[in-house]
Amino acid sequence: MDYMEQALSLARLALGQVSPNPAVGAVVVKDDVVVGQGYTQPPGSWHAEVVALKQAGEEARGGVMYVTLEPCCYYGRTPPCSEAIIDAGITEVHLAMLDPNPLVSGRGKDELERNGIKAYVGEREAEAREVNEAYTKFITTGIPFITAKFAISLDGKIATKSGDSRWISGEEARKYVHNLRYTTDAIMAGVNTVLADDPCLTTRCGGKGGTARKQPLRVIVDSKGRTPPTARVFSEPGKTLLAVGRLVKPEGATALAQVGAELLELPSADGLVDLEKLLIALGERGITSVLVEGGGILLGSLFDYRLVDKVIIFISPIIIGGEGAKTAVAGKGVDKVVNSFKLERSKVEKLGEDLMVSGYIRG
């Protein structure tokens, strides 16, 4: 049995639910039998290693632990996991990867080894790094990991010339998007998307009756405060933050505050708020990952300022046509193809009738 794969599956259950902590999975094995397992609980509660050890109880003594990230070795909201592993009598620990957190970064592994515990690093490391790609960027830069997501036709359109965009992608792709939303900390959209589509920007994963137990923060980029107080984002579970310019009229700000919107005033230029300052502000709130769902102006600006880390594109087998039909990424773009944004570690998957292309922006 692949115990590290089991630990990775557990870690994925914590994605989007435990930030700014990493999503970690742990499995305790003794005599080839799993005696304890767990994944990171919400901030302030137990980390994956402690959950697994508590479940194992005395069976942990003399056992082996498989964990997707190096155990922490410092006192935060909870005691160090390295200390719990030592006290439990674990004899061997397999770490998928070291923790990029400067407070750990090899010190957890060293502490285990100083106490006579064998520590092995690198088993399924690539998968572990993907699980915690957002955490890694956040903990080393203070900036959230940015994923640009959009659905297009074969001819690259996101809507018809009249603005109709429902539905370009199929049901399987839309289900996948709800899972993406569930595993991210914030969903970002531009005000034009809100005005055109009036989206909910919620996830239906992870809860009864189609409502998730934890909704991602909704971030609307709206330099002039044009989002109407009647927009659906204000009547859905969860919180909505409007990133606005400093020239928003007081009466407009008051109306938005009355429906529960939080307004974040930022400098603006070229009709859009300062996106770099917005991402810094989100990082200060402990937001480690942002899923950007359009529209073209917002996505174009994020690409222009080289703020996108990953893209997920759904391609539907339809042709829309029309010179006035919108494309997914606007902005200034590049002058020459050689300067275009290139993907690495790209993947292509089939979801129903659609193709999903994903990859990372080459640095």
Residue positions annotated with a catalytic role: 49
Strands of the sheet with 118-121, listed across from one edge: 33-39, 25-30, 64-67, 92-95, 118-121
Q: Which candidate, 178, 183, 190, 136, places its Cα nearest to that of 14?
A: 183
For CA atoms 100, 40, 174, 163, the dihedral sign is negative
Query: Is the separation of the CB atoms in 24 and 66 below 8 Å?
Result: no
**Dmax (CA) of the chain:** 69
Q: DSSP for 230-245?
A: T-GGGTSSS-EEEEE-
**Whole-number Cα distances in Å, 2 to 53, 66, 335:** 19, 10, 49
Helix H or strand E segment including 35? strand 33-39
What whole-number distance in Å separates Cα of residue 322 and Cα of residue 317?
16
What whole-number distance in Å separates Cα of residue 35 and Cα of residue 21?
25
> What does the block give as tokens for 84?
């719990």
Distance of CA 204 to the CA centre of its chain: 16
Q: How many C-alpha atoms does 349 have within 13 Å on its Cβ side?
A: 11
What whole-number distance in Å separates Cα of residue 96 and Cα of residue 125?
5
Q: DSSP for 80-113?
A: -HHHHHHHHT--EEEESS---STTTTTHHHHHHH
Per the DSSP assignment, residues forming a β-bridge with 93 are 65, 119
What whole-number distance in Å separates Cα of residue 27 and Cα of residue 145?
28
